[in-house]
Amino acid sequence: MDKWFRRIDTLLLLSALSFVLFFVMPAFFGIRPVRVLSGSMKPEIVEGDMVYIQSCREEDVQTGDVIAFENGNGQMVLHRVIRREEEGFITKGDANDREDFQPVSAEDLIGILAVRFPKGSWLYEMMSSKTMRRVLLLSGLVRIVVYFFRRFSR
């Protein structure tokens, strides 16, 4: 029984560490994980990929960079900067035939593509689910209870 408990405990601990590594730590550096939901950036970035977006200043963005921005509908979009104009950045999805309708202003800029994990969306979905958060919280509580039980039962 103790052997199985240690295995389960190790699995839960690794899950908690993965959650911290992939979702909590990046936030301290201004990086946020995002699931890719559209194929507008094919073939480089495809639906089902997970990307990390690094917050940045307008001056840090160069032509050719892939940026995340908020469109007029309040949705996050990930497109490539084609050129810079006075009104803002002109962007286009690699798989799209035309440029985006509106320039991206500095206020709408979320950040720049930092890292891409091909087909990593499953990790995002698994780790960001309410069930996983509850399991990680419960596992932490179980670890604390077991620690005190073992310590004071001697």
* Model pLDDT for residues 49-59, shown as the tens digit of each residue: 999 999 999 99
- pTM: predicted TM-score of the whole model, two decimal places: 0.76
* Model pLDDT for residues 93-103, shown as the tens digit of each residue: 999 999 999 99
* 35 backbone dihedrals φ, ψ, rounded to 5°: -85, 140
- The token duo for 122 is 């499953």
What pLDDT, on the 0 to 100 scale, is given for residue 1?
Answer: 52
What pLDDT, on the 0 to 100 scale, is given for residue 154?
Answer: 65
Dist CA 117 CA 131 (whole Å): 23
Q: How many CB atoms lie within 10 A of CB 20?
A: 13
Q: What is the dihedral of CA 106, 109, 110, 115, to 10 degrees?
A: -120
Residues in the chain with pLDDT < 70?
A: 1-2, 5, 154
Tell me the residue type at 113.
Answer: L
| 67 contacts 113 by C-beta, under 8 angstroms | yes
What pLDDT, on the 0 to 100 scale, is given for residue 72?
Answer: 83
What Cα–Cα distance (Å) separates residue 84 from each residue in 67, 71, 77, 104?
13, 17, 17, 9
What pLDDT, on the 0 to 100 scale, is given for residue 98?
Answer: 95
